[in-house]
Structure 1
Amino acid sequence: MALRNDPSLQAELISWCKEAGIDESHALMLINVPAHTGVAATEEIMEAVKVLGRVRVRHTREGPTSRFLLVLCECKQAIDRTRLPPEVSPGERKEPWTVIAVQEILEKTVKHPSDTNAYRRLRTFSAVVPTPPGEENMETWIEQARLMITECECSEKEKRQRIVESLKGPALELIRAVRFSNPEASALQYLEALESTFGSSDSGEDLYFKFRLLRQSTGQTLSEFLRRIEKMLSKVVERDGLSPGLVDKVRIKQLVRGAVNSDMMLLQLRLRERKHYPPSFLNLLKEIRKAEESEASRHRMSAKAKAIQYREDERASTSVI
């Protein structure tokens, strides 16, 4: 059906599901519902889709023509598309209604012609605390959205659309207010508004001070500590707490200062001597991971040798007895 590949319908469904507060995996749409059916015929619609379990009709809107409606339904359970009938018949003398899983339509979203990256939707973010199941927390969502804005070659309009379609609740209400006050606001300005409203209010200087206090946790590997440093360091730079040109030097200095449980590996990699000519994050991470894998391999070989020696000693002891 042409509607399955209709970009305007896809955008409409995303907005429609959000307005109704429906999880897209639980949503289905009925097409060809006669206009005279109306919301008053809810029981008839419920009866027509009874094969899917308990369904409640949330919205009806004008269809492709004034004679038909599009009916959005919410199912109690996630929809199993293998069991979804292509049509339902509300009565013997009535035309069948087409049934489409909303998720199926959204997965067929057509990429913008200028977008060379695959269309990967951002996870849902509402700014509700604690983070509801199925949503991203503030920190993770902002990172993903910022990466999308930086890497995606699509238009500014589509970047804004991708952000808006992932929002709900207080986060969506805020962006609606931003759009109302400034219709030309960029995708980056959307993120800045969300971060300033729902994120930390720490300045770049405050974040840099916290960064200097980072220490390796008990049981944390050096590579894990390095990734933790990098995550915090990115925030410091974003808030203008540090010049990007100093990042490599500051990173390795904090790694040496805070790695309280990895003295031997610091010596092995000669990291203290390399503060003035530090490697990049990826090269440093690669070196550390290689050293950790080598150390883990030695431990496994040592444990295996001890086990063999123990069994041989045990056999010798039994033989003496």
Structure 2
Amino acid sequence: MDPETVAEWCQTLNINTDHCLALLLPKEDFTTRQIYQLMDEVIPQGRCFIRGMKKDDATATTSVLLEWDCRVINLNAPPTVEFGKEGHKARLVFPTEGSPEGGSPTSTANEPPLAVSTTIGPDFITALSDFVEKCTKGSSPYNGIGYRKLRFFSGSQPVPTGEDDYESWMEQSMQVLDEWDIPEAHKKQRIAESLRGAAADTVRNLKLSKQDCTAYDYLQALQDVFGRTENAADLLYQFEHTYQGHGEKLSDYIQRLDKILHQILLKKGLDPKLVDKVRVKQILQGAQPLDPIMLKLRMKQGEETLTYNQLIKEVREEEARLEVKGSMVEALLDTGAQVTL
């Protein structure tokens, strides 16, 4: 198999040629585990995936198309490597230079036949070290040890034991994704390792149809499949017509509004900069008009807009104060004392 054929193979499967190469093995039965172990030794940077396999009776070889989650096109790898106790010989063939997706300048003119062996030596290890340094250059340092993993999510109903429902899982994922100071590949890995069943299938199909997708692309795909079916306009209408119930605490009402507001943001129906202003506006319109805490908030109308944390803190503190005051009044009434409010 020559570089041009490898490039055509990549194009047929819609794979970026900068991330691929073909591994030519003797025509024997090799397990996927053996193939992955070999490539982990030859190219330890990144993760590779088997995208296709062909057997050629004419050359007595098995060709395996491999894709990495990082660029491998500039790797100065030897065309042939020897592996295993039996001394099996394998050849690495990069896609041709000038293909639509970009390719390797590898040429068949100078490639030795499959029988010629080049064992892995110090020069190859040095080249690999340079390659690793280039791939990791510019990445922020991070500590991947001891991070809190996301709970499992599969999309199954009813929600299995030990898993989160969609809205709880998505809310946590959006929060930690903004906080993780790690490379994009690790963000995707952490999200993928929390997925099961239909949710994992959704991400797998996304990666097949879209090259170089991001962690946010993962979340968007899951939102499309498992999120609420209402569009942003429907959710905004629901938000503007959600009112505080009789006997409902104002803090509970605010939290109920915030869940709808979060769904509107996921649907890109509102500028995030306007969230606090829109929230306060709806609270002033939808809360019980005689709620004592609401009356205080109306008095502050026109002042600096409170954030969600500031608002919920102030409301809960006022609720606690009124609850204590109410308990004191009841205790005084039980003793028959005169109460002055």
Same fold by TM-score, threshold 0.5 exceeded?
yes
- CA apart distance, 1:189: 0.4
| TM-score with structure 2 setting the length | 0.54
Q: Is the 8 A contact 1:252 1:275 kept in 2?
A: no
Conserved 8 A contact 1:124-1:168: yes
Higher alpha-carbon deviation: 222-231 or 256-265 = 256-265
Residue 125 of structure 1 contacts residue 135 of structure 1 at CA under 8 Å; is this kept in 2?
A: yes
Match for 2:320 among 289, 293, 308? 293
> What is the distance in 2 between the residues matched to 1:239 and 1:205?
9
SS in 1 for 2:178: helix
Which residue of 181, 197, 217 maps to 1:169? 197
Q: Which residue does the alignment assign to 1:281?
A: 308
Gap runs ≥5 in structure 2: 1-39, 41-83, 86-139
Per-residue displacement from partner, 1:45-72 (whole Å, max 9, x unpaired)? xxxxxxxxxxxxxxxxxxxx99xxxxxx
**Are residues 1:234 and 2:268 paired?**
no
Q: Secondary structure at the match of 1:257?
A: helix
Quote the Cα distance in structure 2 between the aligned partners of 1:140 and 1:270.
29
Q: What is the identity, as a one-letter code, of the residue corresponding to 1:138?
A: Y
Letter in 1 for 2:307: S
Judging changes above 3 Å, is the alpha-carbon distance between structure 1 residues 250 and 272 closer, same or farther for their aligned structure 2 residues? farther
In structure 1, how many angstroms separate the alpha carbons of the residues matched to 2:328 and 2:141?
A: 54
Q: How far, CA to CA, are the matches of 2:290 and 2:196 in structure 1?
A: 44
Report the alpha carbon displacement of residue 131 of structure 1 after superposing the two structures with TM: 1.3
Tell me if 1:121 matches 2:149: yes
What is the root-mean-square deviation in Å for CA atoms of aligned residues? Answer: 2.6
- Note the 1:125-144 alignment, pairs <5 A: 125-144=153-172
Q: Residues 207-222 of structure 1: matches in 2 within 5 Å? A: 207-222=235-250
Mapped partners of 1:302, 1:156: distance in 2: 58
Match of 1:245 among 270, 273, 284: 273
Scaled by the length of structure 1, the TM-score of the pair is 0.57
C-alpha displacement of 1:185: 1.3
- Distance in 2 between residues matched to 1:262 and 1:117, nearest whole Å: 52
* Overall identity of the aligned pairs, in %: 33
Tell me: CA distance 1:160–1:253, structure 2 relative to 1, closer, same or farther (3 Å).
same
- Aligned mates of 1:237, 1:167 — CA distance in 2: 23
Cα displacement (A) at 1:209: 0.9
Given candidates 329, 332, 336, the residue that maps to 1:302 is: 329
Instruction: Point out the structure with max Rg over C-alpha.
Output: 2
In the alignment, does 2:286 pair up with 1:258? yes
- Unaligned runs of at least 5 residues, structure 1: 1-7, 9-64, 67-111, 311-321
CA distance in structure 2 between the partners assigned to 1:198 and 1:233 by the alignment: 17
More helix by share: 1
Distance, in Å, in 2 between the alignment partners of 1:150 and 1:262 is: 39
Q: Which residue of 2 aligns with 1:198?
A: 226
- Report the Cα offset of residue 140 of structure 1: 0.7
Deviation at 1:160, TM superposition (A): 0.9
Q: Is the CA contact (8 Å cut-off) linking 1:126 and 1:172 kept in structure 2?
A: yes
Inter-CA distance 217–117: structure 2 relative to 1 (3 Å threshold):
farther
Alignment partner for residue 179 of structure 1, among 198, 201, 207?
207
